[in-house]
């Protein structure tokens, strides 16, 4: 904890620990065990500790554990704030590529694991709140993987933890290739879709009709 506190507060790291103790946010035991009153504090300091070894190593150790998603998302956010874009790109590329390799070698492994590396990568970037416009290499790599099949596009469009910029791209890319408007409809129903994209989709009469049918209360409001 002292190391993580020093990274945040520099020479005042010990003062930060004392303040956290006084505020009742952490409890320190004689055997150097730390209890955090709220999980968020534990996840933040864990992300600080993982940062010194980089995202790639953290993903290699913890990507398969759902309880680490918030910590890994925080780690990506810290790296992004520190301008370590290459570290983020290398980690995300490894995660998706290793997942594809594992699927080719033993297809049942990921099913047993109940974890999709591509979906985890998207979820982590969503949790991190980073702008993929500032990570064009990473965004291009993920977009290529998403567009490799119609099923991946649809699965990404319905996932509420898909980064907004990916949803925006799906809404635009799907128009000439989606005659049944399924992907656009999925994007329109996604709670993470940016308002500007929703406004654009609402101009499509077919999409608007589907949204009304999905929300009968809209009809009642018009009466």
Mean pLDDT, the chain, as a whole number? 79
DSSP, residue by residue, 59-118: HHHHTT-GGGHHHHHHHHHHHHHTT-HHHHHHHHHHHHHHHHHHHHH-HHHHHHHT--HH
The CB-side HSE value for 209 (13 A sphere, CA atoms) comes to 5
pLDDT of res. 204: 80
Res. 176: pLDDT tops 80: no
Among 109-118, 170-179, 186-195, the least confident range: 170-179
Task: Encode pLDDT of 53-98 as tens digits.
Answer: 999 999 999 998 888 899 999 999 999 999 999 999 999 999 999 8
- In terms of average pLDDT, the best of 44-53, 160-169, 170-179 is 160-169
pLDDT of res. 219: 36
* Cβ-based neighbours of 196, under 8 Å, separated by 6 or more: 168
Backbone angles phi, psi at 36, to 5 degrees: -105, 130
Q: Where exactly are the structural domains of the chain?
A: 162-223
pLDDT higher at 42 or 9: 42
């Amino acid at each position: 904890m002292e190391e993580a506190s020093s990274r945040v507060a520099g020479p005042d790291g010990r003062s930060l620990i004392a303040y956290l103790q006084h505020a009742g946010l952490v409890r320190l035991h004689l055997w150097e065990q730390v209890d955090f009153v709220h999980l968020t504090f534990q996840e933040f300091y864990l992300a600080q500790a993982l940062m010194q070894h980089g995202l790639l190593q953290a993903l290699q150790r913890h990507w398969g554990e759902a309880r680490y998603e918030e910590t890994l998302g925080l780690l990506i956010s810290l790296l992004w704030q520190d301008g370590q874009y290459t570290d983020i790109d290398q980690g995300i590329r490894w995660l998706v590529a290793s997942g594809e390799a594992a699927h080719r070698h033993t297809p049942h492994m990921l099913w047993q694991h109940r974890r999709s590396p591509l979906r985890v990568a998207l979820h982590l970037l969503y949790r991190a709140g980073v702008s993929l416009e500032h990570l064009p290499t990473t965004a291009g790599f993920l977009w290529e993987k998403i567009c490799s099949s119609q099923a991946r596009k649809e699965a990404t469009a319905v996932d509420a933890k898909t980064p907004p910029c990916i949803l925006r791209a799906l809404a635009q890319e799907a128009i000439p290739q989606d005659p049944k408007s399924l992907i656009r409809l999925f994007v329109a129903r996604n709670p993470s879709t940016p308002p500007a994209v929703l406004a654009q989709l609402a101009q499509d009469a077919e999409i608007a009709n589907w949204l009304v049918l999905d929300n009968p209360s809209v009809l009642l409001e018009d009466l």
